[in-house]
A and B are shown apart, each in its own frame.
Chain A
Amino acid sequence: MLDIKGSWCQLLTGKGLFLGGSRITKFSSRVAESFNGKEVVLTILLTALMVSCAAAPDRRQIIYEPEIFKEAPMALEKAYSDYWEMRAKKQHANAYSNEVPDFRSAITPEQYSNYLKLFEKAKLAQVEPQGVTCPEEHICFVETALTYILNDKVSDVRYIRDSWEKRNGQWFHRIRNPLIFPGLDKCRKKTEVNKQ
């Protein structure tokens, strides 16, 4: 997997690969917007990222801008990071255990694995969280850009609203695909009753 930390390090250290200059421009713009144009913050962040490159340049993990999760509930950041690392490494069983309990009670690990395989004909190269919103204390959405590579080329960048729910103090991921998993796509399940 081409992890974002590696790619940023390569970019920042002049080894430019992958998405190139336009990528960093886009990222810079987004970060600047999120901080009301305070360019100084961007400078600090980029500097911090360069420092972190030296600390763990070869470690394969999903890395993102921590500020994205600054306002997010505790532990969501780690849950998100762990989950997407499992997805990138095709660790289906581990990822399955991080899905919400009601999903796991309805969908078997094999069915879940079949679903994840749909996404694995292309290689998940980069996971980029872009913002976090939490409409309720126990529900958060992480806007995420997923970059896929097929035949050594970027085949697609998919944007998703990644859903997370907190149960008994632990954050769980929720797959929201109403076509494949109908009835399991809502944070709260709809119940229909015929009128008497």
Chain B
Amino acid sequence: MNIKKLVAFVSAIALISLTMSSHAFAKNADNHAGILGMKKGDAMVFPMYLAADGFKTNMVVINTDNSHAVVAKVVVRSQAFSTELRDFFIYLSPNDVWKGELCYANGNIVVRSEDASVWNPATGECATAANPFEYALAPVICEDLDSLMYGYVEVFEAAAMNWAAIRDTDLDHCVNIRNAYEDLTQVETVNCLTGYGEYVFPGDYAVFPATVIAGYAVNDKLTTARETFWGDFALNSITEVEAVLSKDNLVFPYYNNGRDISIAALTFPTKLTRVNSDCEVMQVRSPFFVQHGEFGSVSIGDELISDSILGIKYNYDAYDMNEKAISECQVSPCIKGKRLPWEVNLIDPANDLGVAFEEGWSRISFGTTTQGADLDQNDMSYTGAPVIGMVVHLTHNGMSVDQMAYDCGEVYLGEIDKTLLNCVYQGGCRVTEVTCPTCPVCPVCDADHLCLCETEAACEAAGGNWCDGVCQAEECNGSPAPTCGPDNLDLCTNQTACETAGGNWCDDDEDGVFGCQPEECNGGGGGLPSCGPDNLNLCTSETTCEAAGGYWCPDEVIDCQPAACGSGSSTTIGEKTVTCGTTCFGNWTNPAFVQECSDWQAANCQ
């Protein structure tokens, strides 16, 4: 790498770090801060290559580890449907760098490398300038809609091996590492790869970073004979990969005047569409697209090419330099109108978004929540879209490339309580690091997480109610949990509450434990009167009154009456209705009223 490229590379990293530094977040329970942006990892995506009109794209992969040799599988995929166009391995000794390019040559778009870190099957040796690794990309399946001119590239770390243990000084490094990899029976990986790309045009170039994922952890031997998909042969499911890439929105600056232009590139590397030669979409691997994708049609001229293109809708806002805004709609959330149909989508703010401002910024938003599962089939979900955003500017000063800013999607464990898994996020967007069993804050069934109780016994042990297979704090009929009252005297826990509820605070067993009961204290209730046909005046609730054959008359002095409310002779004493059934004693604080009641009953009742 010459000085100019090194400066450009370091500048790109610094710029990205500065751009992203405001997005620092606590990534675990100990509040260890992390900074989003370029990291080292074990998987990478070059979000867009370009090999057209004199442009070529260089890819650079760096092994930053000084003790491990690394084998990585490089997969080139097409723009529209992720068709695998070429795959091959690179072999990196400690601190080694591999550089390759995608360019147009000899009537084909080819992947080419003179770097000795790639093995050249044509010669059976490591590649050299004289005998470069050069292979034409395979044709796309849907020729009308797909393209070889641009696409994206994945890099999967296949293995990291102790260099001291495998080193054979008689062999070229790439042969040495290749032989060692072929002998491997169990693979391990190290988060030591990073990389960047270059859009190269005659005399100059523009640098862009690769998106690096840490902790992906390939755990089975990758080969070129077997296509590699996200979520296969690794300790992360495709949902976990989507979670690490998930973004609620993307923000990018734009120029849109007669002189300067900007193009936004949005790549969905997990979509992995399968399409047939009739350009009909047969399958997508992405849970995000399975759950949120919408079919649309694509025509060329007047000819309908396909009516089964699975795209994703998005919302956007665009602002000028004075905070004037246009928007697809003004009410949030608003997801309508625009659609991204391909794996690599290019958006021209002027033509595709209808932005009339000459300069400003725009925000593309996704209002989705995707359900999925981790490798252990634990439910998980995330908000936003698994997308990589990049923006290219062409101005009078030349061409530049920048990553978009974004808000990370939120990742949750479980479909019910959506408890945030603070402990397991790593990388740009809080991806699980695949070792959830060791996570110190994974919630379990307890009083605060009743929804995680999976059995009736566990539910009740946690103080919940088991209702139709769900553990909840509320009673199963949906009413609030019962409390101390006339109908639940047994829930009264002190004398005041008991007596307020009409109960008696007793220790009939004389065991020192008091309880609230409807019966009078002493004698355990035997022989003492209680609510019944003969003692309606002792009934304290509508239920017990009616059960005893009485009438519940809450407006009268005695609530439970032997006759219908308001029937028979009655009078009013001290604002209370008195009938023949009224018990006069105890219903007034004024003794005169008690006497008046007794006198009235003596005069009017048999």
Contacts and interface: CB of A to CB of B under 8 A. Distances in A.
B260 A111 contact: yes
A44 interface: no
B296 A194 contact: yes
Interface in A97-150: 106, 108, 110-111, 114-115, 117-122, 124, 131, 143, 146, 148, 150
Interface string B194-218: 0000010111100000000000000
Interface in B285-313: 294-301, 305, 307, 309, 311
Interface string B56-88: 100000000000000000000001000000000
A132 B346 CA distance: 30
A118 B396 CA distance: 9
B299 to A, nearest CB: 5
B203 A190 contact: no
A180 interface: yes
B298 A179 contact: no
Given A108-B259, A186-B300, A118 B52 contact: no
B260 A177 contact: no
B115 to A, nearest CB: 18
Nearest to B339: A194
A160 B55 CA distance: 9
Contacts of A183: 346, 348, 351-352
A189 interface: yes
Contacts of A121: 202-204
B150 interface: yes
B351 to A, nearest CB: 7
Interface stretch (A45-53, A74-82, A151-159): A151-159
Contacts of A110: 258-259, 396
A191 B48 CA distance: 22
Contacts of A117: 396, 398
A14 interface: no
A119 B202 contact: yes
A179 B50 contact: yes
A189 B301 CA distance: 6
Nearest to B264: A182
Interface in B99-115: 103-107
A59 interface: no
Contacts of B147: 178
Contacts of A115: 394
B283 interface: no
Contacts of A185: 52, 149
A120 B203 CA distance: 7
Bin the interface of chain A by size: 35 or more
Interface residues of B, number: 53
A192 B341 contact: yes
From A119, A122, A178, A183, residue with most partner B Cβ within 10 Å: A178
A176 interface: yes
Contacts of B297: 192-193, 195
B380 to A, nearest CB: 30
B202 to A, nearest CB: 4
Contacts of B192: none
Contacts of B55: 177, 179
Contacts of B260: 111, 114
B592 to A, nearest CB: 85
Interface in A159-196: 159-161, 175-180, 182-183, 185-186, 188-195
A188 B300 contact: yes
Contacts of A186: 300
A171 to B, nearest CB: 18
B145 interface: yes
A159 B104 contact: yes
Contacts of B199: 179
B398 A158 contact: no
A115 to B, nearest CB: 6
Given A159-B104, A185-B149, A114 B351 contact: no
A179 B300 contact: no
B54 interface: yes
Contacts of A124: 202
Nearest to A191: B299
From A118, A156, A176, residue with most partner B Cβ within 10 Å: A118
B105 A159 contact: yes
Interface string B149-182: 1100000000000000000000000000000000
Nearest to B79: A178
Given A111-B258, A118-B204, 10 more contacts: A111-B259, A114-B259, A119-B54, A124-B202, A175-B53, A179-B265, A180-B394, A182-B352, A186-B300, A189-B301
Interface of A: 106, 108, 110-111, 114-115, 117-122, 124, 131, 143, 146, 148, 150, 155-156, 158-161, 175-180, 182-183, 185-186, 188-195
| Minimum-distance CB pairs A-B, first 9 | A121-B203, A122-B203, A182-B346, A122-B202, A148-B202, A110-B259, A177-B53, A108-B258, A158-B54
5 contacts: A146-B202, A159-B106, A176-B52, A190-B299, A194-B294
